Amino acid sequence: MSFFVSLPWIRGLSRIIGPYTAWPAVVFIALFPGYLSMFLLFSLLLDRPPQLNLDLDPPPVSLIMATYNEQKRIEETLRSLRHQNYRGLLEIIMIDDGSTDETRDIVSRSGIPDLRLIRAEHAGKAAALNRGLREASCDYTISIDADTFLHPEAVTRIMGRVLSDPPQTAAVAGCVLAKNSRQSLMTRLQEWDYFLAIASVKRQQALYQGTLVAQGAFSVYKTRVLKEMNGWPACIGEDIVLTWAMIKAGYRIGF
């Protein structure tokens, strides 16, 4: 319908700039983005994910986080971990990647039960996460960033999703939004980027059984599969490369 409606526009534009310019202009400026937007809209309207079951017995979960010079943000992250309402065991493993500020001291006096602080030589985020993975003792592993602030029900709900999804699901990407979205123009733009370009698109991808990234900022993984993939690779975008390795191995990624 959009194509036929645009024909008079294309004919009129062709008389001004020629058909070889008018056709690509209308297709790529209007029709193609319009198609993607409507595809996203109808996908979200038709999405019927499996019912989230929060009454299941909550299994023990290992939560790992790599830190490096995070003294300005780590207290907020720790506060969000302290207020989690997860009914099961939440084993928190924090790997300090050679911080030179007061990050370790802040973590040490946090008073959070079942929190272990591991001191490591500075070797990068992937190496720190893999060190934490070797210490993880639970069947499920959650990764978060040092500046991630978790909603009190975040662990409960993401575990409810991974336990409700098909059995071949190896990971579930959590919904991540910008918390400081009113701080500046850049953070306002980031809010829309996270809400539209990440959260909405990932929900659409999950509808078609194809979530492409389980982001390191907040995702849950089956520990067995993580170790099967040899953990996080030492590269930029390690969460993307890890997710694609899981997909290539035949696993499903949820949202």
Residue 208 within any structural domain of the chain:
yes
Alpha carbon distance 253, 45 (integer Å): 21
Q: Let me know whether 9 and 72 are in one domain.
A: no
State whether 208 and 130 are in the same domain.
Answer: yes
Residue matched to tokens 């492409």: 212
The residue range of the domain holding 230 is 61-254
**Shared domain check, 151 and 28:** no
Distance CA 248, CA 124 (A): 25
Residue 49 pLDDT > 80: no
Same domain, 79 and 175: yes
Distances (CA, A) of 103 to 86, 97, 111, 196: 25, 10, 14, 33
**Residues 185, 188, 192, 195: is their CA dihedral positive or negative?**
positive
Same-domain check for residues 238 and 151: yes
Residue 247 lies in a domain: yes
Banded pLDDT at 240 (limits 50, 70, 90):
very high
Answer whether residue 204 shows pLDDT above 90. no
Residues 223, 138 contacting (CB under 8 angstroms)? yes
53, part of any domain: no
For the residues of 189-235, what is the DSSP string, one character each? Answer: HHHHIIIIIIIIHHHHHHHTT------TTEEEEEHHHHHHTTSS-SS
Q: What is the average pLDDT value for the chain, to the nearest integer?
A: 92
pLDDT value for 91: 97
Q: Which helix (H) or strand (E) holds 92?
A: strand 90-97
**Number of separate domains in the chain:** 2
Whether pLDDT at 50 is above 80: no
Is residue 142 predicted with pLDDT exceeding 80?
yes
DSSP 173: E
Half-sphere exposure at residue 30, Cβ-oriented, CA atoms within 13 angstroms: 14
Q: Which of the four pLDDT bands, split at 50, 70 and 90, describes residue 41?
A: confident
What is this structure's pTM? 0.86
* Same-domain pairing of 88 and 6: no
Q: What was the pLDDT predicted at 34?
A: 85
pLDDT in tens, 206-221: 888 889 999 999 999 9
Same domain for 21 and 81 = no
Is residue 55 a part of any domain in this protein? Answer: no
Please state the rounded mean pLDDT for residues 212-233. 96
Mean pLDDT confidence for 185-205: 86
Which residue matches tokens 């993580």? 226
Domain CATH for 241? 3.90.550.10
Share of the chain above pLDDT 90, in %: 73
Tokens 């973590």, residue located = 107
pLDDT band at 158 (very low <50, low <70, confident <90, very high): very high
65: which residues sit within 8 A by CB, 6+ positions away? 77, 92, 93, 94, 95, 132, 143, 144, 145, 146, 148
- 60-70, pLDDT tens digit by residue? 999 999 999 99
Same domain (yes/no): 212, 153 = yes
